[in-house]
Amino acid sequence: METDARTELLTVADLAGPPGLPVVGNLPAFARGAIPHRRLYGWREKYGATFRMRFPGTDVVVTSEPGIIDTVLRDRPTSFRRARFVSDLIDELGAHGLFNAESDDWRRLRRIAMRGLNAKYVRASFGTILRSAGRLRDRWGALEGQRIDVVDELLRYTLEVSIGLTMGHQPDAGLHRKLSLVFSTLGRRLNSPLPYWRWMRLPADRRTDTAVAEIGELILSRYAEARRRMADGAEPVDFLTALAKADLDGEDPLDDADVVGNVLTMVVAGEDTTAAAAAWTLHFLATHPDVQRRVRAEAAEVFGGDGSLVDASAVSRLTYAEAVVNEAMRLRAPAPYLVMEPVADTTVTDGTRELSLTRGTPVFVLLTYGAETDTGRYPDPEAFRPDRWLTQDAPVPGAQPHLPFGNGPRFCPGRNLALLETTLLAAMTCQSFVIEPDTSAGPVKERMTFALFPKNLGVRMRPVSS
């Protein structure tokens, strides 16, 4: 990068940042139970758009600066990669797939994954999504007036959809339990100050190893079946059959680890994030009866006379329901930050200052900092106002970032599926029920695990006609 005479040249050590504790530095901000992005936003206010934190053995950069974020997210995989400490955690759980692959390995897996997630398969899975949403609605109908812990319910819903889309079948209770264990281990390790499991395996870690091995066996047996069907000339209908076809055609040969890792990655990347988005959507619906009424009116129009939806394309007419989901994700993004690192020594610039980064320096990218601070784009930012998404202008260059699905070549490939699942669920729920908040467990707060979930969230549902 050329340096302009007026550009100030900095190293990470020159950046301002919060004081840390001896040895652990600022790591406690990420301990279990903390809400890291809120702490990072607070420091951002105090130390500026790009500041420094300290982790054991390394300085860490945190940035909400749009130009730097753009460089870090777009120059992948050539100049930046996911931070090793994140990728290694996921690899250790046997889910080596698209999310944590790098360089040519990533290029190959992205090609395969995009084939398995293309619009045709997502449309084909519409029936699965509709059936799963319908089952959820029936369960909620049976719980009329009682407190419903919607987070658990929504995790089951998004898991059903992920398994349906990837493997073409319904998860049984055993698979659900095993995957829940994998998620809770991942959440615990992501928020653990020290990688204790590398030195000592607790009973929960051993149970997780067994669960991962059993899930792997299940995926491989489903894959063998998918290959047989593809060899007999059938058309691919889901992610697994798309992989089998690519493998058989010799386009992208796959080994067992590729198959298990990629299926697990799709489930891990899609389940918690989408359940979190849906849970926050229900929270805001429950607390905004006027918004609920508008979603209900729109659903009545789009779902037609018998109240059922037969065609995926109709979901695109649920524009207000989708605006509700986008507004919920603006205020409570499931993934408020990502962590990258440069693959070699490099520099980044915010236009006036150039910052040199040594290879491997973790860079926290505050993906959605602008959601609550960019008052030009989101006037009255604390208000829940879905209408703003119906009249949104394109962001102006330099606007504060709001990138809930990331950006650049590694942009989330599941975005359309996630919006389809959550928009449909919001519309179907409002069509059938009046949603009321239940605060008997305490006020709704944020809780960070693999995604940002609502804590204490409970609602009561009453049939619309009553």
Q: Which residues bind ligand HEM (CB under 6 A)?
A: 73, 98-99, 110, 113, 117, 265-266, 269-270, 273-274, 277, 334-335, 338, 404-408, 410-414, 417-418
In the complex, the smallest distance separating the C-beta of residue 173 from ligand HEM, rounded to whole angstroms, is: 22
Of 332, 330, 326, whose CA–CA distance to 375 is shortest? 330
**CB closer to ligand HEM out of 378 and 405:** 405
Are the CB atoms for 148 and 136 separated by under 8 Å? no
**CB closer to ligand HEM out of 116 and 458:** 116
**CB closer to ligand HEM out of 242 and 434:** 242
In the complex, the smallest distance separating the C-beta of residue 55 from ligand HEM, rounded to whole angstroms, is: 20
**CB closer to ligand HEM out of 30 and 280:** 280
| Tokens 């009321």, located at residue | 436
3-state percent breakdown (helix, strand, coil) of the chain, nearest 5: 55, 15, 35
Residue partners of 378: CB distance under 8 A and separation at least 6: 330, 370, 371, 372, 388, 402
Residue partners of 198: CB distance under 8 A and separation at least 6: none
Beta-bridge partners for 81: 341
Beta-bridge partners for 179: none
**CB closer to ligand HEM out of 188 and 332:** 332
**CB closer to ligand HEM out of 53 and 420:** 420
Amino acid identity of residue 347, one-letter, is: T
In the complex, the smallest distance separating the C-beta of residue 110 from ligand HEM, rounded to whole angstroms, is: 5
DSSP string, 285-342: HHH-HHHHHHHHHHHHHHH-TTS----GGGGGG-HHHHHHHHHHHHHS-S--EEEEEE
Amino acid identity of residue 341, one-letter, is: E
Of 249, 246, 265, whose CA–CA distance to 257 is shortest? 265
User: Helix, strand or coil for residue 57?
Assistant: coil
In the complex, the smallest distance separating the C-beta of residue 234 from ligand HEM, rounded to whole angstroms, is: 22
In the complex, the smallest distance separating the C-beta of residue 412 from ligand HEM, rounded to whole angstroms, is: 3
In the complex, the smallest distance separating the C-beta of residue 155 from ligand HEM, rounded to whole angstroms, is: 13
**CB closer to ligand HEM out of 265 and 373:** 265
In the complex, the smallest distance separating the C-beta of residue 141 from ligand HEM, rounded to whole angstroms, is: 26
Are the CB atoms for 277 and 325 separated by under 8 Å? yes
